[in-house]
Structure 1
Amino acid sequence: MEKARSSGLGGGLAVIHRAELKRSPLPLPDLTSMECLAFKCKPPYSMTVLLIYRPPKPHASFLHEIHDLLTSLCSMSTRIVILGDFNIHIDNPSCHLATEFLSLIDCLCLQQHVKAPTHIKGHTLDLVITDAPINNLEVNDLGVSGHKLVSMAFSSMLPTIRPKRQISFRNWKQIDPTSITVDLQHISCPVSATVDELVTYYNTALSSVFDLHAPIRTREVNFKHSAPWFTQELRQMKTEGRILERRCKQSSLTVHKLAFRDHQKTYSKSLKDARF
């Protein structure tokens, strides 16, 4: 699985995997500050993988693009693995970009696991970011590149269990208009009845006709792409976050920046709680 750079030298992304790993590529927005490749692994290796290469030159839209990308990914997926060469000196506490980036992933309840230098010049550029613990992370110099090999193991990767739901429905398309019209005309109206009694009678009579022409059926279904946990309250929080983000960008005031960060932390925690 690969994605070549559209123009210029260098760059490009590739994934080498075992044949038994079933995966499906995920669509991504057009990005100008980095190269990305994303795919979802199918059971029993259920996870979403995002591979990133960020060129070393500064790009003003990187934080904005990575924020939108990760927020979207975290809202739709669980068990997320983000890998790649970010060309950010994560090990340097005085690096403004590193501080901003680490704050962003912290807001989304993600964790960056690589603590050792991954480049021969001594900086931590190659990152492993997940929303769950990993095991046996190692950084080894193979002597074939300026970058070192980062290896890790994931804990239990269980199949995604999608519980079936039972739904009830009527097959309205099978109704013959002429036949149901005749039956509806045979419904008589009580001469003396209260409003409540008339409503009850109407509903009962109508249901009886519908049961005759389109009886209620039940069926077990599996909503593969549904997200019942994403409630109206979460949608409202997402909208409020967008408002705070725009206000922060327009004013560049610290108070608006802090308000946006606090809201994103709360929103990310609410997403995680709702999913589990």
Structure 2
Amino acid sequence: MVLDDLMPLDDLMVFDDLMVLGDLIVLGDLMVLGNLMVLGGLMVLDDLMLLGDLVGDLMVGDLMMLDDLMVLGDLVVLGDLMVLNDLMVLGDLMVLDDLTDAEYLMFVGPPPSKANKFSFGQFYDDFSKLLDDITLKKGNLLLMGDFNIHYESACKPEVKKCVKLLESHGLTQLVFEPTHRNGHTLDWIVARHREDVVQDILVEDRQSSDHFWITVELSFLKPTEGPVEVQCRNLKLVSREDFARDLQSSKLLTEPSEDVNELADLYNTTLIQLMDSHAPCVTRYRRLRHEPQWYNDQILLAKTHRRKSERKWRKTRLEIHRQMYNMARNELNQLIRETKSRYYNDNVFSNQQNPKVLFTHLFSLLGKTSNTTLPNVDDDLTLANDFGKFFSSKIEKIRQEFSPESIAVTGARFQGESFDSFDPLTEEQIICIIKQSKGTTCTLDPAPTKFVLEYFDILLPVFTQIINLSLKCGTVPGCFKQAIVKPLLKKPGLDSTCFSNYRPVSNLPFLSKVLERAVKMQVSQHLSKHDLYHKFQSAYRSFHSTETALLRVVNDLQWSVDRGELSRSCSLGLIGRV
């Protein structure tokens, strides 16, 4: 077969009907069995086994470039793919990585036989290792191809093992019709349990092969197109000296009110006025960019360098420029791998004592990010009001079910020192509470929390006075009772049109949470001092958590077993529905 302008036919090697054309394939310890066919601009390698390192590139025109290739098994290249970087094939599995936000795997599994020395055990081990790696990656996942396993024969041991393997990795097989003319389901499409990526599957016999055509309709969420209108303040332009001078001369510090509600309202209005004066709110339009948090300037420069090298090579077609492009591309890929690994490792190790943040990162790595699902309505204001009415009525119904008469008091009453008032807090205690609080900002806050804490020495007397006035009169300021309520589905997959399937999550102003901590601190001290905590209480108690409760249960069971006693466990789950 002769292709014009492809190569000079020098150093031609022929192995069993194989024609190696010039420099098209760079050989290094290469052993080839099968036939090589070149069809138009598409190259198909059929029954190809490469043993050793294949150094260099396989390139056909501008259609396809395969770099850093390692092949064990059969390789089939399908589709109009332009560039596949770092392509890896393991046991007839072809992984196309970093093409889109989704992860695709195309599979070609030859039937086990003595001729190809391919066994089901070898396939199972390779497939299991691949799933261990690929299912840990975030994003959508789709496996498709010829598995050569009769899925319709559910009683066969190999089918059971494969199905169990998929289920253990949170995957499911979606093709249930025969995909072969002999009535077998050999071609599989596998996706995660919780994802609705595959919308429809159509199996057709087009008489073009012994395998049927499978058409799959996929659904992927596209990022919002076009610029988005945002309201923002440029805090970098704020003069810290001028802001501090205006804050000290404001009525908040010169004429503070003795009423807790008036003082809290004065705090909010004063900061809002100062923010509008020094950093007025402006409307800007920005395009949404879905850049990962590990993305940095070093990677951006490496991408720019790679792109320049690629353009130069495509323009000149010189071997030296191709090698320069390959080097730039490999350096970028290595930099991305190292940066991602370092970012996730640092997050995991730095949050070992913070389970909430730790599991948030782990779920993100596993692709278990929770997307906000709300009923589809045309008017957002009507939906917000409907949610507000539902949650308010639910609270009222719960209150009606509880009355002072219905609460039975068991056991001896506490005869010690009663807790009938709160003690005023010192500025040192307020400092300790604020340092223990997270610097998060709520939409209801008059200014960003981090910005406010820059003037902490000026506002500390105001914070102390608001907290002590609230504790003294036993009143929570009205503005502290307001919250941004976000409805979340209790479990994935529940009916999003039913309000009872949602739970409200409230985001409170920063000072409101400081007041909560101040109250909790004194209540906890009283309960601990007089040993009023229940023996097995773990919630809302220092040095207690779900982990300590589970450790106690396991410890008691082990002690019971050691003493030869019979142990039973009873779990009770209370779910309130209104």
User: Structure 1 residues 200 and 9 mapped into 2: Cα distance closer, same or farther (>3 Å)?
Assistant: closer
Distance in 1 of aligned mates of 2:221 and 2:70? 39
Question: Which one of 5, 16, 27 corresponds to residue 79 of structure 2?
Answer: 16
1:126 aligns with 2:187: yes
Distance in 1 of aligned mates of 2:218 and 2:68? 34
User: Structure 1 residues 102 and 224 mapped into 2: Cα distance closer, same or farther (>3 Å)?
Assistant: farther
Match of 2:412 in 1: none
Q: How far does residue 129 in structure 1 lie from its aligned partner after superposition?
A: 4.3
User: Structure 1 residues 174 and 35 mapped into 2: Cα distance closer, same or farther (>3 Å)?
Assistant: same
Superposition map of 1:71-110 within 5 A? 76-77=139-140, 82-102=143-163, 104=166, 108=171, 110=173
Question: What CA deviation, in whole Å up to 9, does each residue of 1:214-238 have, x standing for no partner?
Answer: 1234456665659xxxxx9xx78x8
Instruction: Determine if contact 1:83/1:128 at 8 Å carries over to the other structure.
Output: yes
Instruction: Determine if contact 2:172/2:190 at 8 Å carries over to the other structure.
Output: no
Superposition map of 1:1-276 within 5 A? 6-7=69-70, 10-17=73-80, 34-38=93-97, 49-53=104-108, 56=118, 57-60=122-125, 62-63=127-128, 65-66=130-131, 69-70=134-135, 76-77=139-140, 82-102=143-163, 104=166, 108=171, 110-113=173-176, 115-117=178-180, 124-129=185-190, 131-138=198-205, 140=207, 142=209, 148-154=210-216, 160=222, 162=224, 167-188=230-251, 189-190=254-255, 192-219=257-284, 223=288, 225=290, 271=492
User: Bigger shift: 195-204 or 31-40?
Assistant: 31-40
Q: How far does residue 209 in structure 1 lie from its aligned partner after superposition?
A: 0.6
Task: Name structure 2 gaps, 5 residues minimum.
Answer: 1-63, 111-117, 192-197, 292-355, 367-490, 498-578
User: Structure 1 residues 69 and 48 mapped into 2: Cα distance closer, same or farther (>3 Å)?
Assistant: closer
Q: How far does residue 9 in structure 1 lie from its aligned partner after superposition?
A: 5.2
Instruction: Determine if contact 1:167/1:221 at 8 Å carries over to the other structure.
Output: yes
Instruction: Determine if contact 1:81/1:128 at 8 Å carries over to the other structure.
Output: yes
Instruction: Determine if contact 2:72/2:89 at 8 Å carries over to the other structure.
Output: no
Distance in 2 of aligned mates of 1:154 and 1:7? 29
Instruction: Determine if contact 1:105/1:111 at 8 Å carries over to the other structure.
Output: no
User: Structure 1 residues 197 and 174 mapped into 2: Cα distance closer, same or farther (>3 Å)?
Assistant: same
Secondary structure at 2:144 match in 1: strand
- Count of residue correspondences: 219
User: Structure 1 residues 181 and 136 mapped into 2: Cα distance closer, same or farther (>3 Å)?
Assistant: same
Question: What CA deviation, in whole Å up to 9, does each residue of 1:168-203 have, x standing for no partner?
Answer: 432212222233233223213325522332222122
TM-score normalized by the length of structure 2: 0.30
TM-score normalized by the length of structure 1: 0.54
Instruction: Please say which structure displays the higher CA radius of gyration.
Output: 2
Give the residue type in structure 2 aligned to 1:50: L
Supply the RMSD in Å over aligned alpha carbons. 4.9
Q: Percent identity?
A: 20
Question: What CA deviation, in whole Å up to 9, does each residue of 1:136-185 have, x standing for no partner?
Answer: 4337464xxxxx45423345979847488764432212222233233223
Task: Select the structure with the greater relative contact order (CA < 8 A; seq sep ≥ 6).
Answer: 1
Secondary structure at 1:51 match in 2: strand
User: Bigger shift: 130-139 or 201-210?
Assistant: 130-139
Distance in 2 of aligned mates of 1:152 and 1:41? 22
Question: What CA deviation, in whole Å up to 9, does each residue of 1:205-257 have, x standing for no partner?
Answer: 1111111111234456665659xxxxx9xx78x87xx9xxxxxxxxxxxxxxx
